[in-house]
């Protein structure tokens, strides 16, 4: 579990605190309103949202900040910026090992996205894309098989031509 005293906010460096009224594993920055949510807690929140539950959080902050990669509060490695659910429009910072950093208001938007079926649509799209990718792979495989057969035939023809040249002095 994250030790709030050893975890500065990745955005403003203010010490994180256990978020009030939520899971004790969730940490919040009282200065900027960002939240660090461990992977397992986020999975629980999204599952609840998809089943019709909700979450309360402070209002989103106005304006956009310049792009800045931030460190994971737990391991201090630079987190990856990801469009949550690939299409939500909410750019979050993710440490694959530990969790996700949500700037003020982003967690509410992500929960709303999940509650509105956004994750289900993302899964359906990924399934379709995977099928399309398999179809393209099968087409490429078929083309390669034809090319290999032609190459094999060309090699056999070359071999026979060489044989005939040797035998008949062509």
> What pLDDT, on a 0 to 100 scale, did the predictor assign at position 105?
92
pLDDT in tens, 37-73: 998 999 888 888 888 755 444 344 445 667 889 999 9
Please tell me the pTM assigned to this model: 0.64
- 10-19, 24-33, 39-48, 130-139: least confidently modelled range: 130-139
> What pLDDT, on a 0 to 100 scale, did the predictor assign at position 103?
94
CA dist list (Å): 138 to 124, 134, 142, 143, 147: 21, 6, 6, 9, 14
Percent residues over pLDDT 90 in the chain: 33
User: What residue segments make up the domains of the chain, in order of their start?
Assistant: 4-116, 132-170
For residues 45 and 168, the model is more confident at 45
């Amino acid at each position: 579990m994250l030790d709030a005293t050893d975890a500065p906010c990745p955005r403003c460096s203010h010490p994180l605190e256990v978020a009030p009224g939520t899971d004790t594993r969730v940490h919040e920055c009282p200065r900027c309103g960002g939240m660090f949510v461990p992977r397992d807690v986020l999975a629980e929140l999204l599952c609840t949202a998809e089943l019709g539950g909700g979450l309360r959080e402070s209002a989103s902050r106005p304006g956009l900040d310049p792009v800045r990669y931030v460190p994971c509060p737990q391991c201090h490695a630079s987190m990856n910026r990801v469009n949550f659910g690939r299409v939500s429009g909410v750019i979050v910072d993710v440490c694959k090992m530990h969790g996700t950093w949500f700037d003020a208001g982003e967690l509410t938007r992500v929960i709303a996205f999940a509650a509105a079926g956004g994750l289900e649509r993302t899964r359906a799209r990924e399934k379709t894309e995977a099928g399309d990718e398999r179809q393209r792979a099968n087409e490429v495989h078929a083309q390669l098989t034809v090319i290999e057969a032609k190459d094999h035939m060309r090699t056999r023809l070359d071999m026979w031509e060489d044989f005939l040249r040797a035998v008949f002095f062509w």
